[in-house]
Structure 1
């Protein structure tokens, strides 16, 4: 690895080509109107500008090579052009008017194309839009994306579910590196704040070709906010208030770019009390979160690099039963205290017609869990009992004293997970119609216990993978194919040592059947090695009230999925239908063996083949010429079964979403909108042996927002309401469902962002 880094630095210093520039003009193709303030972006270089009032632009200090130029402005189709520098020095670009929203480059796929050019279907959503819809946090926000749900424990803890698969079957990427934060636990959340996240991309289906083990079910890819354009700076402050939890989120950020250097930083603070339902507050769903993100970048000639850091500290209450009714925000016992540090670097060396990308990451996760009985050993037990009696006399004093009591606690459970990973890819020079990428990926991970209890043992995990993938562009069809080999070694201090190996591949086709009708067909395999909990568990899992016994002989989960997607677009309507069939061999799950230990039922980890199938269908109507009107409707369904026809657990219910959205502008109000949404979730009767069925429900939401000038700077105001009828309901994927505890009631969110 040291040799690789030295080579990178040497290339950065010696591959200094002549500086080049690109100038151009952007026009409306029908009217020849010069388009001012159009976004011009070189995605490979992460460098951009905007056109001036006459539609002209200029990009300087460009290295020689082949690049993708992306041109976008609201009200026009986004355009992607392959260019060669320095062969091209001036370009005239004509855009077609369109009511379709602007497209963005998809980062989670290797060739970084617009979604309209992609062979693989990827869902993308801007975090700003998710927040404007009333989402309290990132977990709730991603549940608005078609085919994505969340397994939740209250409001603060949620795990993404992609087409019925969750936990270690869904890989999360942040800052360009895989996020490792002991996500094997069903009561472990993402540990990532939406602050400083620009957009979310979702690969629905096996992505082991690109990401290795744990991407069997799909990938949730979090794109950090971009640096400021060269020669510019900006800052902002923001605040959000949530009526249901009497909670708030505040944040501030600043970024600047000058010459070859650029930097940014952003901080946020979040606090929520127990969420409210029509009948009660759900005790200990309160939480607090502090988040800080920073980045620095450097670019010169044929080399660019950036380093990013994220620190996230969360104190999350673990709800157990309905008890004290309070609007205080400090978690009660039991609670989690989680600190996550993510260090990442992303570097690229550009050659004449090829490039080398090197992504490095280090994640330090410190997870502590506190329970009632684990007080500091020198604490006087009699004084503690007397203190508890006082707590029951006054609920407010209960919460205030709890803050002080936290200082005397020692964690019942403390695990530190240290993960170093690398991802090195080389993009070969284009050969005819072939774009090809080869690469290696790897990970070293150490889990160490420090608490009084042990959930999983001390262990070391090492991954290594090698892959190759090609995109072939013909006039009538695009083809993408690839292959990969992976090895994972898990070494446990108790003596267990297992190796897991897998070959995987993918093949996809994209073609325009008619002028406005695009078809995509993808075949892909994926795998997941058993995690430490599945291999080594031997003890009571208090969160689920069962004694879990691991199985050291578990095999890889291996799957094969077929995807078919059809998409129709014209000036009036967009329509899509996606279908999938996913066969999973050796699916790992828990099953009771009929015994009990300490009056707790014993569950074994066993394997059986499984299958999942379903899809999404939707329509978006934006009639011409009233393009300010948007009517959107989408339906999603998934069914999961074992080979014996028993249903799989934690499969989301079928759902239907209908949205009416109006967009408009006034001289004093920009980017204004208002919407009404009705989300219908149907009965879930296809449940596993150990689940209960769930009733359907309808949730009504609405909101409005826009930007205006305030003290000569731009301010953005948003007001939204969710569950406006204050419906009492229980989502099938709520871990509080067995106790009959409702999900959150009516919530009004008011948000304000001010540009400095």
Structure 2
């Protein structure tokens, strides 16, 4: 490992020098050929750009030799891309067509950095600002607006992403370009990420093991951090959102500045929420507090670019158990979690003659503490309560537990520290004819250590390494993407468990235009997931699950094969899409009761069986002529999951319809104005596993209005949103409070203000 890191440092230091190239050009409107102002001109790979002046002219300096994709985009115009060979002689001229659809962005989660319409894989993308404008309380809540994505929730504070029916260690989360590791195997272990300082969310639906290795079997949730300011610019903003239902707030402030070479940004945020309200009661101890700090530093020269980012997130999360105290206090009661995440990441790009090297390193420190009521335990048989039995609290802390207002004096019943080092090295080879090719190596070293009296998983070390190669092939009427990867994972514990898992995976896809306005994408991919520590080593009654879980050290890899077909039709006034998938998962790991009891808790064993998931999403977006300010959107999503023995899989989202009417407007007193009404209809979920109950259907109505106003020569963004306007009493099938008959959040009115300076 030391030699590997030394080699990386030598690559970074021994950077060759190139001439400082300049590219100049003009962007004009397609029909009138008049210059267009305030058009974004951006090199995604270089993360370098500019905007056009009043006459449509732009100039970008210090471009290294090579061939790069340049993107031209602005709201109201169809985004354009072009490959530019540097040095470039002459002046570049680009014509943009008007468009009433949203501005297309470059997809970052796939390695070739293309616009969505040019991407072989179908990747969903959403701006965090749009998710917040829809009334989302947290990031985990907001992502449920993305087709094919849901969330397993414990109240409003804890949410785990679900992609097409798969969740936990089957869905990988990336932030700051590195994989997020925060003990995501646990039912009540949420994201641990604030939406402040997150610019957009990308979702890969389906196996992405080719790009990301183990745990990407079900898909990837990719969080794009806030961009640095453009060269020679400085920006600041501060804002707050008030949520009427929880009488809570979420506030943040940030500043960023960039010079000729150096860049800097910083953003801090804080949130506090009371217990959420339903029509009949407040849900006791669903309250939570969160503090978050994000900072970044970057440097860029002609052929070298690097950035270092840091994120500190500290959350105190109440765990609801039953309806009790009715209060608007914001300090969690027992039991509660206190989770601290430190995320350090560095990303370096070195540009050679017609090729480049990307090196991303990450270090994550996750400190998870859980505090609970002091209670007596029936120790029973010594053999049944060895060091793995995490049902035992420290009786020496009775005095601390007598006063629940003094949480800081309590000792955690459970404390786990997870330290993870990630590395990701990719070499973009010189373009050869129609081929773009990337080769790379990725890996991880992870150490889990217990400090509390309860033991969920043992002290353990995990080591990963994977090698990959993939190519994008450009033809006149078709784009093809192929790749292969080999992975090795070793898991060893202090209890002498030592397991090694290997997997070879591949992917192939094509994108073609069937007609001028109709495109087709077909992707075939395999993925894998090595068993996690809980599945291998559990032995004890897990708090909150009311079951005694016994791990299985003989579990094998989960291995899946998915086919995905996407059709899209688009013209100036209508867009229609249909995505279908079939996902076969061999050796699917699941919990099953064996009919025995230990300490009055039913015993559950980890078993394996083949399973399959299938379904998809369809939708339509109408923006009729000549009233382009009107948008009518409808979508439907469905997923079914079954084991080969005929049993349904657990935690499968119910089928859902979404219908939205949105208007956009601009006046002298408001810019980027909008208003919307949305009806979300969730159908009954009757296809449930043996350990679940069915869920009823329900409809949720929401609406909002907002826009930008000029205040003291700066911009004030205002958004007013109401969700569940009819105060419907309902229980989502993926709510962990469902077994206690506790409703999801009732009517919520939120007001958001952001002032840009």
TM-score, scaled relative to structure 1: 0.96
What is the SS of the residue equivalent to 1:684?
coil
- Asked if structure 1 preserves the Cα contact closer than 8 Å seen for 2:722 and 2:749, the reply is yes
- Asked if structure 2 preserves the Cα contact closer than 8 Å seen for 1:123 and 1:202, the reply is yes
- Asked if structure 2 preserves the Cα contact closer than 8 Å seen for 1:333 and 1:370, the reply is yes
What is the SS of the residue equivalent to 2:210?
helix
- Asked if structure 2 preserves the Cα contact closer than 8 Å seen for 1:376 and 1:408, the reply is no
What is the SS of the residue equivalent to 1:432?
coil
1:214-293 to 2 correspondence within 5 Å?
214-293=215-294
What is the SS of the residue equivalent to 1:142?
helix
Paired residue for 2:707?
706
Paired residue for 2:158?
157
Q: Deviations over 1:430-482 (max 9, x none)?
A: 01100000000000000000001111000000000000000000001110000
Mark the CA change 1:14 to 1:690 in structure 2 (over 3 Å): closer, same or farther.
Answer: closer
Mark the CA change 1:590 to 1:88 in structure 2 (over 3 Å): closer, same or farther.
Answer: farther
Paired residue for 1:751?
752
Rounded Cα–Cα distance in structure 2 between residues aligned with 1:376 and 1:587: 37
What is the SS of the residue equivalent to 2:251?
strand
Paired residue for 1:501?
502
Paired residue for 1:547?
548
Alignment of 1:137 onto 2:138: yes
What is the SS of the residue equivalent to 2:374?
coil
1:103-114 to 2 correspondence within 5 Å?
103-114=104-115
TM-score, scaled relative to structure 2: 0.96
Q: Deviations over 1:680-725 (max 9, x none)?
A: 0000000000100000000000000000111111110000000000
Rounded Cα–Cα distance in structure 1 between residues aligned with 2:312 and 2:331: 20
Paired residue for 1:355?
356
What is the SS of the residue equivalent to 2:142?
helix
- Asked if structure 1 preserves the Cα contact closer than 8 Å seen for 2:373 and 2:401, the reply is no
Residue 90 of structure 1 deviates from its aligned partner by 2.0
- Asked if structure 1 preserves the Cα contact closer than 8 Å seen for 2:25 and 2:92, the reply is yes
- Asked if structure 2 preserves the Cα contact closer than 8 Å seen for 1:66 and 1:352, the reply is no
Residue 88 of structure 1 deviates from its aligned partner by 4.0
Residue 376 of structure 1 deviates from its aligned partner by 8.2
Rounded Cα–Cα distance in structure 1 between residues aligned with 2:544 and 2:172: 23
Paired residue for 1:668?
669
1:579-598 to 2 correspondence within 5 Å?
579-598=580-599
Q: Deviations over 1:153-207 (max 9, x none)?
A: 0010110000000010000000000000000001100000000000000000000
Residue 645 of structure 1 deviates from its aligned partner by 1.1
Rounded Cα–Cα distance in structure 2 between residues aligned with 1:2 and 1:320: 51
Paired residue for 1:394?
none
- Asked if structure 1 preserves the Cα contact closer than 8 Å seen for 2:459 and 2:494, the reply is yes
- Asked if structure 2 preserves the Cα contact closer than 8 Å seen for 1:618 and 1:632, the reply is yes
- Asked if structure 1 preserves the Cα contact closer than 8 Å seen for 2:374 and 2:398, the reply is no
Rounded Cα–Cα distance in structure 1 between residues aligned with 2:28 and 2:599: 75
Paired residue for 2:35?
34
Rounded Cα–Cα distance in structure 2 between residues aligned with 1:369 and 1:235: 37
Rounded Cα–Cα distance in structure 2 between residues aligned with 1:685 and 1:168: 25
Rounded Cα–Cα distance in structure 2 between residues aligned with 1:161 and 1:104: 24
Paired residue for 2:418?
417
Paired residue for 2:390?
none
Residue 384 of structure 1 deviates from its aligned partner by 6.4
Paired residue for 1:629?
630
Rounded Cα–Cα distance in structure 2 between residues aligned with 1:263 and 1:189: 29
Rounded Cα–Cα distance in structure 1 between residues aligned with 2:395 and 2:549: 29
Residue 407 of structure 1 deviates from its aligned partner by 2.2
Q: Deviations over 1:240-270 (max 9, x none)?
A: 0000000000100000000100010000000
What is the SS of the residue equivalent to 1:109?
coil
Paired residue for 2:50?
49
CA RMSD for the aligned pairs?
1.3
Rounded Cα–Cα distance in structure 2 between residues aligned with 1:37 and 1:567: 30
Paired residue for 1:717?
718
- Asked if structure 2 preserves the Cα contact closer than 8 Å seen for 1:12 and 1:349, the reply is no
Paired residue for 1:524?
525
What is the SS of the residue equivalent to 1:330?
coil
Paired residue for 1:343?
344
Paired residue for 1:473?
474
What is the SS of the residue equivalent to 1:738?
helix
What is the SS of the residue equivalent to 2:588?
strand
Paired residue for 1:60?
61
What is the SS of the residue equivalent to 1:347?
strand
Gap regions ≥5 residues in structure 1: 388-401
- Asked if structure 1 preserves the Cα contact closer than 8 Å seen for 2:641 and 2:649, the reply is yes
Residue 87 of structure 1 deviates from its aligned partner by 2.8
Paired residue for 2:697?
696
Mark the CA change 1:693 to 1:515 in structure 2 (over 3 Å): closer, same or farther.
Answer: same
1:306-705 to 2 correspondence within 5 Å?
306-373=307-374, 381=399, 402-403=404-405, 405-705=406-706
Rounded Cα–Cα distance in structure 1 between residues aligned with 2:8 and 2:47: 23
What is the SS of the residue equivalent to 2:132?
helix
Mark the CA change 1:600 to 1:712 in structure 2 (over 3 Å): closer, same or farther.
Answer: same
Residue 11 of structure 1 deviates from its aligned partner by 5.2
Q: Deviations over 1:656-675 (max 9, x none)?
A: 00000000100121000000
- Asked if structure 2 preserves the Cα contact closer than 8 Å seen for 1:426 and 1:439, the reply is yes
- Asked if structure 1 preserves the Cα contact closer than 8 Å seen for 2:15 and 2:304, the reply is no
- Asked if structure 1 preserves the Cα contact closer than 8 Å seen for 2:374 and 2:401, the reply is no
Mark the CA change 1:586 to 1:685 in structure 2 (over 3 Å): closer, same or farther.
Answer: same
Paired residue for 2:203?
202
Mark the CA change 1:468 to 1:711 in structure 2 (over 3 Å): closer, same or farther.
Answer: same
Mark the CA change 1:52 to 1:643 in structure 2 (over 3 Å): closer, same or farther.
Answer: same
- Asked if structure 2 preserves the Cα contact closer than 8 Å seen for 1:73 and 1:102, the reply is yes
Gap regions ≥5 residues in structure 2: 376-392
Rounded Cα–Cα distance in structure 2 between residues aligned with 1:461 and 1:89: 54
